[in-house]
Structure 1
Amino acid sequence: MNRTLFLLIIILYLNCINYSQTIELDINNTNSKLASLFSLSGEKLTFVDSITTSKTGQFSFSNENLQTGFYRFSFDNHKSITFLNDGDDIEITADAENISESLQAINSEGNKLYYEFVKLNKDYKTKTELIQLILSRYPPNDDYYDLSKQKLNKLQYDYNQFVNITSQQEPMSFIARYIKSSQLPVISTDLPLEEQLDYLKKHSLDNVDFNDDELINSDCFTNKSIEYLTYFRNPQLPLGLLEKEFQKAVDTLLTKASVNIFVYQHVADYLVDGFKKFGFDNVVDYIIENYVVKDDLCLDEQTENSLQNRINQSKLLTIGKIAPNIILPDETGNEINLEEIKADKLLLIFYASWCPHCKDLLPEIHKLYKEKNNLEVVAISLDEKKEDWISFISENKLDWINLSDLKGWESKAGQDYYIYATPTMFLLDSELNIIGKPIDISELTLLLN
């Protein structure tokens, strides 16, 4: 090989291995010399590194181990800047007093597109919602109606132009794929208002690539999930019916996400965590039983730990399994053995006197109990004070089998049945096989009929 050519190859090789990506952030109006870097996945932040500087507000660092995706730079007591790491050098400037308006990417095309997309999304959503409101109120033959419709068409055209053309010059880049999947749905102005919600339920996820697991390192899938759930939210519905609506949305989201196991687990974890925070326990149970347990999904460790009893109950106490035996004292102190109770059907209900839902549900079950000759009820209280338990029995005239060891959540029966909330019901047959796990009086009535 020619000696000159050989030396040239060596120099090029050394230049490649010595190259280290640089990330610089220049922040005005801050006294901070210390910041933290977090990786972003959905709504979860994972600490990556601490960053210090000798010059106030001027941060520079390199990290060869950063994977492609979004990161959050945090400073000044929870002020933050989100940026995309796609392997290119990054230089970002901002004013700490008004980050969203001042944020600029100097030499990173990926971040330039990202910040432009964030701003465009916000403007597009605000303006289209206002124009849709006008179109819903004005008569179609009014000149202002036509003017508003033209304005909406122009907004949609400009939005589609950016999403489908401007941002797609390098279609395989992370930012191009992110924008393609994260775009807001665009509804034809010719579609009647009363048909738009149904259209959104059917088509708002059409552009999301659920098979692109690298997008887990962003807020794409979580943003699209919460957007999709809003189409099923109806504040006028009672809780039970609202949960049924959310279950429909969950089915669509998780069925689409199931094309990729990593995306599937990511979306399932987000939905479980979100519904748990907002108290939609029946939706959480629905996801665990129909997706997490059925497909053996691995949730985030923190989420899984907090839901372990739910998961165990769904896995181990399934329909057809024999219910664990229970030996507990009744209100007079006599020990009752579940295996010795003879009944065609037996309802186990775990409750507590302080539980609001229990106060509503148990009197309803008692009415049903009086109507059904072949039904026995064993009500197990998770109270810790005997006077509270006895008072509840007396006030509600509960003349069925009442049991408790007054150990609260530490009750052996509660632990054997992985009780994580009250009320919880199990319907058993004469052989103590589990034949149903009703969540309310209507489901119990259907099972008994």
Structure 2
Amino acid sequence: MRFILLLLIITITDSYSQKLIVEIKNSNINTAALYSLSGEKNELADTLRFDNSGKCRYTFPNKLAGFYRLKIENNKQLDFIYDDEDIEITADANNLAGSLEVRKSESNRLYYAFLKLNKAYKEKSELLNLIIARFPKDDEYYQITGRRLNEIQKEYLEFVNVTSQQNPKSFIARYIKSAQLPVIDQSIPVNAQLNYLKAISLNNVDFDDTDLKNSDVFANKSIEYLIYFRNPQLTKDQLEKEFTAAVDTILSKAKVNPLVYQHLTEYLVDGFRKFGFDKIIDYILDNYVIKDDVCLDSELELSIDRRIKQARLFKIGNEIPLFSLPDVSGNQVKLNTIKADKILLIFYSSKCPHCGELLPEIKKYYEKQKSTTKVIAVSMDENKEDWLNFIKINNLTDWVNLCDLNGWNSPVVEYYYIYATPTMFLLDKDLKIIGKDYK
């Protein structure tokens, strides 16, 4: 009897497994990678297989509710939400975003409707607010514009608070509630609106909802909030003080949930690391990570450790450590055999988007400095073909190109405490550091 009952439970459970059907038209796609998303991170969840008609049928095996991304041919991607319901999506490979149709899944219909509404509301409200700010209050057009803005705000809030909340416990309902844009009360003077946004923009974010880690909401709301503290007229030191105040607000709110707190701490540290805000990173480490014993992602923790050691050992005026690496022909090249008035030493990866943008710009500068400067480009690639293709595509053949194909595990990368790409050191003829930078 117990066996029959157990079998019945298993059968019933299996019958409710959620299905995903994706159809990509005008494509010869065979497989696609399925990733789960968390902030700006994505983790491979599975590989999906398509039949000859461009259809894929997939069963979610106990997946967490949240955002997923399907990466298909030519770096095209399709985002959707898994919210404990069957999903059926179709799109044309030639225009994924523009042709996307949700045939089944109310959560995904709401998600895409929300994205469209958010974009429209932001554009229209910003334009109308600009008109209101510049027109005299006794002008008829001022009154008309005010009424139109009020209508747009009501439409937006109707979707956020009513239309999307028919099933308030669903992932999409909770996501929209937290992800909604702030609505500015028209009675607030223009010169007071920035402080108003600083005061209310995080009020609707549910920092105690662990599931929302599996989305972009905490990352997006953090960026939105930090932007309110940005001022192009401030120096970097002044800007760091402003951002530090914003960080305190964000992390203080996140402390309500240890997992969300960890998630946001990692996100902020990694974000400020990429933009070189060392003082803010130190502040977060001292006042949150160390103080509250926050466990960071192992890769991020290693990166921070390397950042600290590099800052201590690779100071302006210090002589750079020597190394020897193979060039494109496999010949070992020693650093101290490269002679020039100045040497630009770059650590990069062909897979790094910033490197792909920056190195061609450096190439243009190098063309004007060839007589006095040499560039040593150390690739952190693991695939030789990727490395050589990058050199060829970007016309870097007149640089000293080196790589041992060990990636982040290269002894030189570890010896130099490289923690981000690209990392650059400008050296004088005696191999002393006269400048350094990282992105």
- The answer to whether the superposition gives a TM-score over 0.5 is yes
Q: For each residue in 1:162-188, what CA deviation from the matched residue of structure 2 results, as whole angstroms up to 9, or x when unmatched?
A: 000111111111111111111100011
Could you tell me which amino acid in structure 1 is paired with residue 240 of structure 2? E
Deviates more, 1:256-265 or 1:20-29: 20-29
Partner residue in 1 for 2:235: 238
Cα RMSD (Å): 3.2
Q: Tell me how far apart the structure 2 counterparts of residues 213 and 229 of structure 1 sit (CA, whole Å).
A: 22
Contact 1:32 1:56 survives alignment (8 Å): no
Change (3 A) 1:269 1:8: closer
Shift of 1:282: 1.3
Q: Secondary structure at the match of 2:138?
A: coil
Partner residue in 2 for 1:351: 315
Q: Secondary structure at the match of 2:22?
A: strand
Change (3 A) 1:46 1:350: closer
Q: Tell me how far apart the structure 1 counterparts of residues 248 and 223 of structure 2 sit (CA, whole Å).
A: 14
Change (3 A) 1:312 1:265: farther
Partner residue in 2 for 1:155: 152
Partner residue in 1 for 2:165: 168
Could you tell me which amino acid in structure 1 is paired with residue 315 of structure 2? Y
Could you tell me which amino acid in structure 1 is paired with residue 239 of structure 2? L
**TM-score, with length taken from structure 2:** 0.69
Q: Secondary structure at the match of 1:126?
A: helix
Q: Confirm or deny that 1:215 pairs with 2:179.
A: no
Shift of 1:125: 0.8
Deviates more, 1:263-272 or 1:63-72: 63-72
Could you tell me which amino acid in structure 2 is paired with residue 351 of structure 1? K
Change (3 A) 1:312 1:171: farther
Trace 1:82-93 onto structure 2 (pairs within 5 A): 82-93=79-90
Shift of 1:410: 6.2
Shift of 1:70: 0.8
Match 1:128 to one of 125, 133, 138: 125
Q: For each residue in 1:299-351, what CA deviation from the matched residue of structure 2 results, as whole angstroms up to 9, or x when unmatched?
A: 1222111112467999xxxxxxxxxxxxxxxxxxxxxxxxxxxxxxxxx9983
Contact 2:314 2:320 survives alignment (8 Å): no
Shift of 1:28: 2.2
Q: For each residue in 1:236-264, what CA deviation from the matched residue of structure 2 results, as whole angstroms up to 9, or x when unmatched?
A: 11110011100010000000001111000
Q: For each residue in 1:109-153, what CA deviation from the matched residue of structure 2 results, as whole angstroms up to 9, or x when unmatched?
A: 111111111111111111111111212222222222211111111
Q: Tell me how far apart the structure 2 counterparts of residues 274 and 16 of structure 1 sit (CA, whole Å).
A: 41
Q: Tell me how far apart the structure 2 counterparts of residues 8 and 410 of structure 1 sit (CA, whole Å).
A: 61
Contact 1:293 1:311 survives alignment (8 Å): no
Shift of 1:21: 1.8
Q: Secondary structure at the match of 2:264?
A: helix
Change (3 A) 1:313 1:298: farther
Contact 1:288 1:310 survives alignment (8 Å): no
Q: For each residue in 1:172-214, what CA deviation from the matched residue of structure 2 results, as whole angstroms up to 9, or x when unmatched?
A: 1111111111110001111111110000111100001101111
Change (3 A) 1:67 1:9: closer
Partner residue in 1 for 2:196: 199
Q: For each residue in 1:252-306, what CA deviation from the matched residue of structure 2 results, as whole angstroms up to 9, or x when unmatched?
A: 0000001111000100111111111111111111111111111111112221111
Q: How many aligned residue pairs are there?
A: 332
Match 2:59 to one of 29, 46, 62: 62
Partner residue in 1 for 2:14: 17
Q: Confirm or deny that 1:142 pairs with 2:172.
A: no
Match 2:102 to one of 70, 84, 105: 105
Q: Secondary structure at the match of 1:307?
A: helix
Q: Tell me how far apart the structure 2 counterparts of residues 262 and 311 of structure 1 sit (CA, whole Å).
A: 26
Q: Which of the two has higher C-alpha Rg?
A: 1
Match 2:286 to one of 286, 289, 302: 289
Query: Mind listing any 5+ residue stretches in structure 1 that lack a counterpart?
Result: 2-6, 315-347, 354-380, 387-408, 415-419, 423-449
Match 1:75 to one of 65, 72, 76: 72
Partner residue in 1 for 2:184: 187
Q: Secondary structure at the match of 1:152?
A: helix
Change (3 A) 1:302 1:151: same
Partner residue in 2 for 1:247: 244
Contact 1:288 1:311 survives alignment (8 Å): no
Partner residue in 2 for 1:51: 48
Q: Tell me how far apart the structure 2 counterparts of residues 261 and 350 of structure 1 sit (CA, whole Å).
A: 36
Query: Mind listing any 5+ residue stretches in structure 2 that lack a counterpart?
Result: 323-335, 337-413, 418-422, 426-439
Could you tell me which amino acid in structure 2 is paired with residue 292 of structure 1? V
Contact 2:71 2:77 survives alignment (8 Å): yes
Partner residue in 1 for 2:370: none
Q: Tell me how far apart the structure 1 counterparts of residues 308 and 314 of structure 2 sit (CA, whole Å).
A: 18
Partner residue in 1 for 2:340: none
Q: Secondary structure at the match of 2:292?
A: coil
Q: Tell me how far apart the structure 1 counterparts of residues 305 and 7 of structure 2 sit (CA, whole Å).
A: 56
Shift of 1:98: 2.7
Contact 1:27 1:96 survives alignment (8 Å): yes
Shift of 1:96: 2.6
Partner residue in 2 for 1:398: none
Contact 1:35 1:50 survives alignment (8 Å): yes
Q: Secondary structure at the match of 2:104?
A: coil
> Identity, % of aligned pairs?
51
Could you tell me which amino acid in structure 2 is paired with residue 151 of structure 1? R
Match 1:274 to one of 251, 271, 285: 271
Q: Tell me how far apart the structure 2 counterparts of residues 313 and 290 of structure 1 sit (CA, whole Å).
A: 22
Q: Confirm or deny that 1:265 pairs with 2:229.
A: no
Runs of 4+ in 1 over 4 A off after TM superposition: 7-13, 309-314, 382-386
Contact 1:37 1:51 survives alignment (8 Å): yes
Change (3 A) 1:351 1:23: same
